[in-house]
Structures are given as C-alpha cells and as structure tokens.
Structure 1
C-alpha cells in the first residue's frame, strides 16, 4: 500500500470523487478531521467524531495505581483523565457506502468535545442519504449515538441495512454491568442509548451469528470480549488488508495488553481477543484502525519481544 495513504486536503477529491466534496475543509476546522486511504479498490475514510475524556483509571482497572500512573507519566498524560479519540470509518466498496459505527451523538453534555460526526460527514461531502449500510462493532452509546441525533433517522435511506451481531442485540435486552468498571451514570446512559437504538431501528437490523460479508471485500466478524457481540471489520482487496478493531485495542494495549478497560463486559475474554487480534495484525501486516487510537488511527502492529509496538502510518500529502 505504498503511497496509497494521503492527506485528504489535496488528492482525495480526485481519487475518491464518488464521495462528492470529499476532502474540502469545513468552515470551522483548524486541522483535518478526516483521513483517506485506499485498500486495493476499496475507498476508506477515517472520520473523527471528536474526543472523549474518561477517568484515567478506566484505562486499566486491574493495574496497580502506581504502575498505571507511571505509564501515564511516561506518555505525558494526566493521571486524572485522558483524551480518548473517537473514530468512525466510511467505506466505499462496489455500489455500497458503509458507515462503521456512528459516534456519540449530541445528547451528552459531559462530553462536549465529541458528537461531531454529522458535521464532520457534511464537511467531508458525505451525505447521510448516500449511506447504504451501517456496521456496528457494538452498541455502546459512543458507537450508536450518532444514529439517535434528532433528524438523522429521517435522512437515512428506507432500505438502509444495519449489521450487528445477534449476540449484541440479545445482550442489550438485559445488560449485565457487574464486571465492568463503568460509573453508574455511564452504565445508565449505555442502557438508555441501547434501548432507544433497538426501539428505533429494529426493523433495519441485519443480524449475524459469527461472520457476515457486507460488501465485496468487507467482512464483519464477531469477537466478543468487550461486549458479547463485539465485532471487527476486515477489508481485503488487491492484496491489501485493513482491520477496524472497534474497542478491542486501545493505546495502552501495546505496552500492557493484559490491562482491563473499564468498559469491558468480560475483561479476561477481551484480553484474549485483544492479544489474538494483535498477533494477527503483526503476522499479516494489515493496517489497523481502532475507535480510540489517536486520530487518524492508521498504522500497523509489530512485535516487540513478548509485547507489541504501534507503527503509525506516515501522512502522505
């Protein structure tokens, strides 16, 4: 994939014209909030939905506070709270335009720096009406919230298909938060958002058990762990590979894959999933994009002894 990753301010308009005004800066943008690349014949754009700021302890609930604090210090991050990117992806394969996850939405004043997906899609020239499919890695509020914003549902296509693991839908009928480290307020928020999403979009859901082909070269696979139906999306075309890992991999995962994230509903299984995916990525050389890796979240995974190393892509202007 040499020279296939590019900054969207210049070449994306010419190479990804199907997305309309792909690449034009928005009126209020100081820095790019989208990043385009090609995976073989598949067009991909990473969209930033902004930044969340969760408590720092939620990054590693099973870590000794001193060790967690030392890691944060070494990364020049606050020990109280840290910036957590929120990335989504738009994929164009064949005649399908696929939105992977939908971000936070606009209902949560505790996260004023996130919930930007609608504006960011508009700035990138991507009309909601053009989206043929949505893939949800899981149904946490920061992944379904963008579909719950007032006026969004009315703009979506009547034949829109929303792909999500059957186990995920089943779990949120009576979710169990007993093994998470989520504050009660966020757990309540997650319950409300998942219930509202299921109520509003049930007739558009296309559920699958383990694996499902969404479009040519676009396959969603259930991993479990983070939530019972958590899934990843693998893209493959012309020898190129990319994985959107959702919430399976976090920035701290490269140094401490064994640390549990506070939002994981089965921490031990999530750890096994994380290590397995990172080994796969290191072995195949596929690109990785993940929801909470720093924007634009495009890079590769390499081994570093018994641990892993994040190798971010060089921005290609």
Structure 2
C-alpha cells in the first residue's frame, strides 16, 4: 500500500492550498474518497465506493412512520429518500493485502455514483493485482458487484483467495426473502448477482464456519442476522483494534438499534447482532467502520441510556 499513512490521503487529489481556485479542472475529483490509518503495525485504508439512493422507509421498516420522518428530519435527510454510503476496506498485514468487500460495480443502471472503488484504489497507488485475499462480509450485490466488473476481473491475480462464510454460500443457493422488505426489483437482482459471483469465483472461494484468521491480526467472524452468513472483520495489532461491521450497522442504529432494515433476512436476529456488537465496541473502545455509515465511517460507540451514541474519530491529516 503506497499511500503514506500520515499524508492527506483523504483528499484524493485536492490541492492542499485552501486558496487554490475551485475552477481548476485538472483534478478528477474534489471530494474525499479514501482515508488511511494504522492499527498497531497493520495498515488500513477505508475507500468510498460512492453512494446510492434508497427510500427512507427501507431503513426502518418496523418504525412508526411519524417517528421515522422525525428522525430523518432531525438528521437533515429525506424525507422520502437519502444517499446511502458505500465503504470498502483495504488491509495490509505482513505480506498480504486484503480487500474487504468490493462495492457495487458499475453494471447496475440507476446508480451512477456508485462503483467507484477500482479507480479510487488506483488513485491510492494500489494495484488490484497486489490483492492476495478478499473477504466478503455477505453476498448482497453492493458487496460483491465490484468483482464482476470486467476491468476488475482481468486484473486480479490467479491465486486470489476469497473468504466467505460457508453458511452464506449455502444460503444463496436457495435464498429466502420472506422476512425482507426491499424495493420490488431488488430480490431478483440479488439472486442473479450472487449466482454470477458463484459462477465466476467458485474455484477461488475459501469458506469458513465461524471464525477464520485471514492474516496475522485479521480475523473474519460470522455474525448472521443481516444474512445467515453475514460476517464482520476484526483487525488487531498490539493494544489497538478496529472492527469492520459490514451491514450490521446503519446510520439509524445508534439512536434506534431496534429499528429493522428492509434488507435484513432475519430482522430480529439482526437487532441482537448489532446491539451486541455496539455493546462490545463501547466496552473495548475500539474503532468501528461500517459499509453504510457516512465516509470515512471511522469512530467509536458509547452507551447512551437504552441506545448508543456515535463518536466520529478526528481525521489525522
């Protein structure tokens, strides 16, 4: 990973001089898209895959509509839709470079601002061919779609290892959407995307049951809930720890951990998983990153009565 960890990595080409005129057109992007930090001796890079729009009702299917509307108004979001962040992780431990999830990809119409991670890895100086391992938290299309893009597939190394829970692989052979509440076209697209992923990468899959150490200090652990094989990734080095929570956490989870998400295949178990995850994070003081928290989604959790409080980390730049 060539991005210097104490450099302004999050600026992604933005000139450091704040007096620089914004009419300059030589930069492709003027927004942050990656953020580097160190967990002990392990390098971590949070990369934005962009954003995609979702209806606000999907974020809280069991909430009173008035309470949901009030929360989104208080957050200056909505009222009917909001932008959902997409974050992936790159971890370097020893000789291994690990990609955690792969974003949406660019093959889905209607989401032009997502599928950004390949160009943003390149901007960070990371060659896709250097990736030795991929961890898939779960097989929803916004986590595996990026691996189905031709320009990505053609650059991956032939000995790439893709780690995913065995339960997740089994689930997508005959997925059950009975308890979900998704926009109507989504289940068919999820099925098709998972089937294509299995077809393209079945020979590279390395399945695990409950936990697996992908590299020194990098452990993937199945939580279930969001999908039966949904997993989180713990990065630990010395006294420092960061957890990539995948889809166990959403922006509303801290104020209303009991509000269910329409994409959850087991909503009640999802509530138990996220409450337990936040309780553990509050007790340990570890850093958390999640797929759908606003970029760079690096922060900590504190207990706040019967709910929780998100404390964003100060950027080091």
TM-score by length of 2: 0.93
1:25 paired with 2:16, answer no
Residue 245 (structure 1) shift: 0.1
Could you list the structure 1 runs, at least 4 aligned residues long, displaced by more than 6 angstroms after superposition.
Answer: none
1:97 paired with 2:94, answer no
The CA distance in 1 between the partners of 2:210 and 2:287, in whole Å, is: 22
The CA distance in 1 between the partners of 2:10 and 2:283, in whole Å, is: 33
Question: 2:232, 2:246 within 8 Å by CA — same for their partners in 1?
Answer: yes
Equivalent residues in 2 for 1:116-127, closer than 5 Å = 116-127=116-127
Residue 295 (structure 1) shift: 0.2
Identify which range, 112-121 or 228-237, moves more after superposition: 112-121
- Structure 1: gaps (5+ residues): 1-7
Residue 29 (structure 1) shift: 1.2
Question: 1:102, 1:142 within 8 Å by CA — same for their partners in 2?
Answer: yes
Question: 1:166, 1:207 within 8 Å by CA — same for their partners in 2?
Answer: yes
1:207 paired with 2:195, answer no
Number of the residue aligned with 2:266 = 266
Residue 238 (structure 1) shift: 1.3
Equivalent residues in 2 for 1:84-233, closer than 5 Å = 84-233=84-233
Q: Deviations over 1:14-58 (max 9, x none)?
A: 769xxxx99862841102200000000000000000001111100
Q: For the structure 1 residues 266 and 22, does the alpha-carbon distance in structure 2 shift closer, same or farther, using more than 3 Å as the test?
A: closer
Residue 222 (structure 1) shift: 0.1
The CA distance in 2 between the partners of 1:49 and 1:82, in whole Å, is: 16
Residue 187 (structure 1) shift: 0.9
The CA distance in 2 between the partners of 1:76 and 1:155, in whole Å, is: 41
The CA distance in 2 between the partners of 1:268 and 1:142, in whole Å, is: 22
The CA distance in 2 between the partners of 1:180 and 1:305, in whole Å, is: 29
Q: For the structure 1 residues 163 and 81, does the alpha-carbon distance in structure 2 shift closer, same or farther, using more than 3 Å as the test?
A: same
The CA distance in 1 between the partners of 2:265 and 2:293, in whole Å, is: 20
Identify which range, 191-200 or 107-116, moves more after superposition: 107-116
SS in 1 for 2:81: coil
Q: For the structure 1 residues 68 and 141, does the alpha-carbon distance in structure 2 shift closer, same or farther, using more than 3 Å as the test?
A: same
Q: For the structure 1 residues 184 and 14, does the alpha-carbon distance in structure 2 shift closer, same or farther, using more than 3 Å as the test?
A: closer
Number of the residue aligned with 2:240 = 240
Question: 1:25, 1:124 within 8 Å by CA — same for their partners in 2?
Answer: no
Aligned residues: 304
Residue 121 (structure 1) shift: 0.9
Residue 306 (structure 1) shift: 1.4
Q: Deviations over 1:87-117 (max 9, x none)?
A: 0000000000000000000111211111111
SS in 2 for 1:191: helix
Number of the residue aligned with 1:13 = 4
- Structure 2: gaps (5+ residues): 15-26
The CA distance in 2 between the partners of 1:126 and 1:29, in whole Å, is: 18
Number of the residue aligned with 1:3 = none
SS in 2 for 1:13: coil
Residue 184 (structure 1) shift: 2.3
SS in 2 for 1:30: coil
SS in 2 for 1:61: coil
Q: For the structure 1 residues 72 and 24, does the alpha-carbon distance in structure 2 shift closer, same or farther, using more than 3 Å as the test?
A: closer
Number of the residue aligned with 1:44 = 44
The CA distance in 1 between the partners of 2:163 and 2:57, in whole Å, is: 32
